[in-house]
Structure 1
């Protein structure tokens, strides 16, 4: 089941805006994961945007190498023991906010 936030998103937008072929491939991989794999599980990401959306934004904004580093950092922080003092809680989405900076 796909969450309602991702249904309204234009998934092709990050691919059109990617600066190079490597970023397009990396972004496409995370989008495929989000649409076909992650959508079949229970919502487990504690952050908004979701980790796959975060990865696509990181590749788009920071390029391939910095995008991978930011994505790895994010994935290592995405667990049920998040320190609430470090993140603002979005009561509408019921997730902690952690945007790509």
Structure 2
């Protein structure tokens, strides 16, 4: 629920659960054809990829130092495919995604 809330911009939920879940990484693995689950992404990284700036503002001070540990090839809503290398910072993701 945390990562879905970060991805979809449910700011109130993020604010309520922030103390418990900030800095956590998504342990779910995507099932065949499932594009909304990004294994090992943080809430901030989801918010950046899905362009939810209120959630970004809420989490950036806590999660700005989290670095990706694996590579991702993502199909974004804008019909744009992006590649996020391992060891990408939050700023790298912002630049790659173009938000």
TM-score, with normalisation over the residues of structure 1?
A: 0.27
| Bigger relative contact order, structure 1 or 2 (CA pairs below 8 A, ≥6 apart) | 1
- Structure number having the greater helix percentage: 1
Compare CA radii of gyration and give the structure with the larger one: 1
